[in-house]
Chains A and B, each alone.
Chain A
């Protein structure tokens, strides 16, 4: 039986040219992948038994929380910041103060540290959220340096320890972990869950109407205002969200290191968090995490040679100029190409 087709477009739709239908990614796949990765992550200490290596991974993920925050602001609002160290620091110092000086329960101290950081971030964000890109970069660098000067003030030395920092010690347990259990293997589940929580929160913020509005502001703020959207409040909210994630990183830094020093608030850390973010790339949500792990690894390999600043400087310049998507963007491009090849039988046009 022959079918007459009037519409030439319909003909191309209805007649399959090859026997193989184009496969689409099934809907159930992403949640399953996420659950598998999350579960596998929890088992990492069983695989990586080397204490040093695991410690490196923990440090990388903790720094990764700060980098996630920087990456979120950079990707969604186009605002690069040196200032995330201030909130990483307020989280770390807040936790150390609450458990040490005030003898609070660790869980209460954790919530206090993040809450207090969010309050500070609201005030700071309200002040600087309107600044244009370059001025934002400059002012946040000044603000993070201000925090470094603050914690080193002579008057606060009895509480914050000046440039010696404070030792973190607490009574009781945090999610079943006592102070003595906080080796790399002990703290791993806590860090892994915190990272998962932060990634989930930032992912939700990116995908919904909130992320859409942020990207609208990034692309054309004037047009957003013209179309009747407020542009000030979303920026402040995004800043507070990012700062809270960084504060969570700060608390975990305090827990995993056992002490807090002014180094994590000042100029040096400002550079570190930004470099980790840039190397990982802001185009993907997980890029900054990967960048942070890469950074801590490189740091542990290079810091004895004294050439770390050279490589870091070249890495920033190289990534910014030649690889704007960072390592995350590169991996995503490779995965996408592989996916097309395997499931759609397409060949990369360049080969």
Chain B
């Protein structure tokens, strides 16, 4: 029972991690809070459900994140972030909030408002015995993907030259520029990566949660909580906070189901009282 809940929390945490680390990355590099992140995820989930039912889940799993990173990333970068680069971050945030509404309209116009049920693909469809308890195989897959992507992101940030530059710009953009880091190119890369991550999370969410038009807003709010909890702009903090929120939500729904939906917010208030700068303080814009 506890093992199953633990895995549930990890599976949900994996999804939140993918989304929140994308938000934190973009914030660290571009000083922009992407209020359209949830809508990108929503659009990706519907695109994946459509592509997946026409071909297979695996095609969608590769094609959708690529499509979003290659098409959506540049649209965000060259259509919104670059033209508004000299404006205050608040202007960009509000424009992106408008963008979120437009994307939601696109989702309804293209895919309709019907809820989609996505089947887990063949080898992941059944259940697997974990310590004597049957557990849905797809959620195990989610856990593995989540761990894999966190490790991959950490390796990229810690071991590669680009990762070093990302950390440098995130810590101090002016000095990093003076030291010869091409912040523009790096920013574009990170924006594409972030949108791709949201697309990836959208595909993965299909067989795990019901794909419906409200999923974007719901996840955006949780992701904002995660990012604030973790310390705005801090990637390590975002990962830690994503897991914390997932655990609180999953175990809360078992132990105190009456108030489970409010628990993430209680956590937010508690952290705001206790450590207003977040769990792992990052760079916080004025």
Q: Hey, which bits of chain A sit against chain B, CB under 8 A?
A: 78, 80, 127-128, 130-135, 137-139, 141-143, 145-146, 149-150, 152-155, 267, 271, 274, 278, 306-307, 309-310, 312-317, 320-321
A271–B39 alpha-carbon span in the complex (Å): 14
**In the bound complex, do residue A320 and residue B98 qualify as a contact, i.e. CB atoms below 8 Å apart?**
yes
**In the bound complex, do residue B259 and residue A317 qualify as a contact, i.e. CB atoms below 8 Å apart?**
no
A317–B269 alpha-carbon span in the complex (Å): 31
- The B98-153 residues at the A interface (CB cut-off 8 A) are 98-105, 108-109
Least distance between A244 CB and chain B CB atoms (Å): 21
**In the bound complex, do residue A127 and residue B224 qualify as a contact, i.e. CB atoms below 8 Å apart?**
no
* Chain B residue with Cβ nearest A312: B101
**Residues of A contacting B251 in the complex (Cβ-Cβ under 8 angstroms):** none
Any chain A CB within 8 A of the CB of B239? no
Any chain A CB within 8 A of the CB of B10? no
B 261-286 binary contact with A (CB < 8 Å = 1; else 0):
11001001100110010000000111
Q: Would you mind naming 15 contact pairs between A and B with Cβ atoms under 8 Å apart? A: A133-B90, A134-B33, A138-B224, A141-B224, A142-B224, A142-B268, A145-B265, A153-B258, A155-B259, A306-B108, A306-B109, A309-B104, A310-B105, A320-B94, A321-B87
- Among listed B59-67, B175-183, B198-206, B225-233, interface-contacting one: B225-233
The one of B94, B100, B228, B261 that contacts A153, using a Cβ cutoff of 8 Å: B261
Any chain A CB within 8 A of the CB of B217? yes
**In the bound complex, do residue B221 and residue A139 qualify as a contact, i.e. CB atoms below 8 Å apart?**
no
CB-CB under 8 A for A128 and B272, given A150-B262, A316-B95:
yes
Any chain A CB within 8 A of the CB of B84? yes
A130–B89 alpha-carbon span in the complex (Å): 18
**Residues of B contacting A313 in the complex (Cβ-Cβ under 8 angstroms):** 98-105
A116–B103 alpha-carbon span in the complex (Å): 38
10 additional contacts (CB under 8 A) given A135-B232, A137-B33, A137-B90: A128-B272, A134-B89, A138-B227, A138-B232, A153-B261, A271-B101, A309-B104, A310-B102, A317-B99, A320-B98
**In the bound complex, do residue A316 and residue B97 qualify as a contact, i.e. CB atoms below 8 Å apart?**
yes
A145–B217 alpha-carbon span in the complex (Å): 10
* Chain A residue with Cβ nearest B83: A321
**In the bound complex, do residue B33 and residue A138 qualify as a contact, i.e. CB atoms below 8 Å apart?**
yes
The one of A128, A132, A141, A267 that contacts B286, using a Cβ cutoff of 8 Å: A132
Across the A-B interface, the 8 shortest Cβ-Cβ residue pairs = A316-B98, A313-B101, A146-B265, A313-B102, A310-B105, A317-B98, A309-B105, A313-B98
**In the bound complex, do residue B95 and residue A317 qualify as a contact, i.e. CB atoms below 8 Å apart?**
yes
* Chain B residue with Cβ nearest A136: B90
* Chain B residue with Cβ nearest A317: B98
Instruction: Count how many chain B residues have C-beta atoms less than 8 Å from C-beta atoms of the other chain.
Output: 40
CB-CB under 8 A for A134 and B232, given A267-B217, A317-B98:
yes
**Residues of B contacting A149 in the complex (Cβ-Cβ under 8 angstroms):** 261-262, 265
**In the bound complex, do residue A139 and residue B268 qualify as a contact, i.e. CB atoms below 8 Å apart?**
yes
**Residues of B contacting A130 in the complex (Cβ-Cβ under 8 angstroms):** 276
* Chain A residue with Cβ nearest B214: A267
Interface Cβ pair total, 8 Å cutoff: 112
**In the bound complex, do residue A271 and residue B262 qualify as a contact, i.e. CB atoms below 8 Å apart?**
no
A320–B93 alpha-carbon span in the complex (Å): 10
* Chain A residue with Cβ nearest B224: A138
The one of A139, A146, A310, A320 that contacts B262, using a Cβ cutoff of 8 Å: A146
**Residues of B contacting A142 in the complex (Cβ-Cβ under 8 angstroms):** 221, 224-225, 228, 265, 268
Any chain A CB within 8 A of the CB of B91? yes
**In the bound complex, do residue A315 and residue B98 qualify as a contact, i.e. CB atoms below 8 Å apart?**
yes
A152–B224 alpha-carbon span in the complex (Å): 21
A91–B273 alpha-carbon span in the complex (Å): 25
* Chain B residue with Cβ nearest A137: B93
Least distance between B210 CB and chain A CB atoms (Å): 17
CB-CB under 8 A for A145 and B221, given A150-B262, A153-B258:
yes
* Chain A residue with Cβ nearest B263: A149
**In the bound complex, do residue A307 and residue B89 qualify as a contact, i.e. CB atoms below 8 Å apart?**
no
**Residues of A contacting B103 in the complex (Cβ-Cβ under 8 angstroms):** 313
**Residues of A contacting B33 in the complex (Cβ-Cβ under 8 angstroms):** 134, 137-138
A89–B95 alpha-carbon span in the complex (Å): 26
CB-CB under 8 A for A134 and B285, given A313-B98, A313-B99:
yes
**In the bound complex, do residue B94 and residue A316 qualify as a contact, i.e. CB atoms below 8 Å apart?**
yes
A312–B101 alpha-carbon span in the complex (Å): 7
A100–B14 alpha-carbon span in the complex (Å): 45
* Chain B residue with Cβ nearest A268: B217
**Residues of B contacting A139 in the complex (Cβ-Cβ under 8 angstroms):** 224, 228, 268, 272
**Residues of A contacting B90 in the complex (Cβ-Cβ under 8 angstroms):** 78, 80, 133-134, 137
A320–B227 alpha-carbon span in the complex (Å): 25
**Residues of B contacting A154 in the complex (Cβ-Cβ under 8 angstroms):** 258
A312–B93 alpha-carbon span in the complex (Å): 15
Least distance between B286 CB and chain A CB atoms (Å): 5
**Residues of A contacting B84 in the complex (Cβ-Cβ under 8 angstroms):** 321
**In the bound complex, do residue A153 and residue B221 qualify as a contact, i.e. CB atoms below 8 Å apart?**
no
Q: Which of B108, B221, B272 has the most CB of A within 10 A?
A: B221
**Residues of A contacting B217 in the complex (Cβ-Cβ under 8 angstroms):** 267
* Chain A residue with Cβ nearest B217: A267
**In the bound complex, do residue A155 and residue B258 qualify as a contact, i.e. CB atoms below 8 Å apart?**
yes
Least distance between B87 CB and chain A CB atoms (Å): 8
**Residues of A contacting B101 in the complex (Cβ-Cβ under 8 angstroms):** 271, 309-310, 312-313, 316
CB-CB under 8 A for A314 and B225, given A80-B90, A132-B285, A134-B285:
no
Least distance between A306 CB and chain B CB atoms (Å): 7
A128–B89 alpha-carbon span in the complex (Å): 19
**Residues of B contacting A309 in the complex (Cβ-Cβ under 8 angstroms):** 101-102, 104-105, 108
**Residues of A contacting B265 in the complex (Cβ-Cβ under 8 angstroms):** 142-143, 145-146, 149
**In the bound complex, do residue B262 and residue A133 qualify as a contact, i.e. CB atoms below 8 Å apart?**
no
Least distance between B235 CB and chain A CB atoms (Å): 17
